[in-house]
Amino acid sequence: MTQPITEDTVLKTVAKFEVKYLQYLDEDGKPLGKKLPSFAKDTELLRKLYTDMARVRAFDAKAYALQRTGKLGTYPASLGQEAIGVGYGSVMRKEDVLVPYYRSTAGLMQHGVTMAEILTYWGGDERGSDFKYAREDLPIAVPIATQCLNAAGVATAFKLRGQARVAVTEIGEGGTSKGDFYEAINVAGVWRLPVLFVVNNNQWAISVPSEIQTAAETYAQKAIAAGIHCLQVDGNDILAVREAAEQALERARRGEGATLLECISYRLCDHTTADDASRYRTEEEVKQGWRREPMRRLRKYLESLNAWSDADEETMNKTIAEEVEAAVQEYLSMPAPKATDMLDYLYAELPEKLREQRDELARGE
């Protein structure tokens, strides 16, 4: 008969771990403690972060409207999760590289990708991946978790070159179930790569809730097995996200390796324009999500500092609406791409059979 293994026989503890949680502001924008990050006193910076989140929210709303009128393809919004991308994007340097996934709109905008470029991509035109200002950022990844391996590859190049640059990538919590994710954090750990993995934990992987995605208590602890630093963050508290991301980037630049940040948020919208979240979520759950959303929280904090007013809100909304409309007009006025583009940018030298197809396409234009 098999005897159970117990502490009384051969077991001893060889390692212990913990996952810490970072939050500065409560749901009503009130500080939880006296010690806030130093930038929390910079009201001009906070006003900018608030405006940047508002810009993403307005852009998302317009993108949804365009999709509904047949002027855009399937689109994934970030409603309620704006603090994550704005938070980490606001501390990235120009020379860092963003390896985005489909819900990285806020991070892309922070790193210089224009609204018109993002619309062009989601309109099915690969010219939207040719970022004018963020030249080295990778294209948006729709396949799940592949971006993590790409980020590890970029970080490997930085390390081999001896450059103080960091690769930053973002992934949904559902994507952390994929092998690509585990492979990426493993190599990031063993090679001490300068890479930041941001897990956008918005509670739902399309219609699958967190409790049946993983048996782990947190997504952050997945980094422990890879031997890399991890932290769980209130993803609706932009002070916490920004501070955690900045420290992670500094660690990476000092050669101290990768970090995984689990940012806990809530998706207030459908997964994409092809989804109907009302089929799997209750109205009460969504109502609670609205109470925790990041813009309301930061606005209340700004108001407590006498740094925001209704007039500021009105002016901001008017300015952003004009910016978004200008981007939409730029997107809609783009000439259609050539049919031959899909082959012209695929190979340095086209194979013979594809050359024949290209010539046929060219004759049809």
Known catalytic residues are 267, 271, 280
**Quick check: 229 and 165 in contact, CB under 8 A?**
no
Which among 54, 64, 97, 28 has a CA at the least distance from the CA of 328?
64
The region that residue 299 occupies, defined by phi over 0 for left and psi between -120 and 50 for alpha, beta otherwise, is alpha
Alpha carbons 143 and 175: distance in angstroms, whole number: 9
Which among 57, 72, 52, 54 has a CA at the least distance from the CA of 328?
72
Residues 6 or more apart from 80 whose CB is under 8 A from it?
A: 202, 236, 265, 266, 267, 268, 269, 289, 290, 293, 294
Residue 172, SS3? strand
Which among 240, 304, 287 has a CA at the least distance from the CA of 25?
240
Q: List the structure tokens of 240.
A: 């916490």
Beta-carbon count within 10 A of 210 CB: 17
User: Which residues sit opposite 208 in a β-bridge?
Assistant: 205
Alpha carbons 326 and 116: distance in angstroms, whole number: 8
Alpha carbons 239 and 233: distance in angstroms, whole number: 10
Sign of CA dihedral 8, 10, 15, 20: negative
Please report how many Cα atoms fall inside a 13 Å half-sphere around the Cα of residue 254, on the Cβ side: 8
User: Which residues sit opposite 209 in a β-bridge?
Assistant: 204
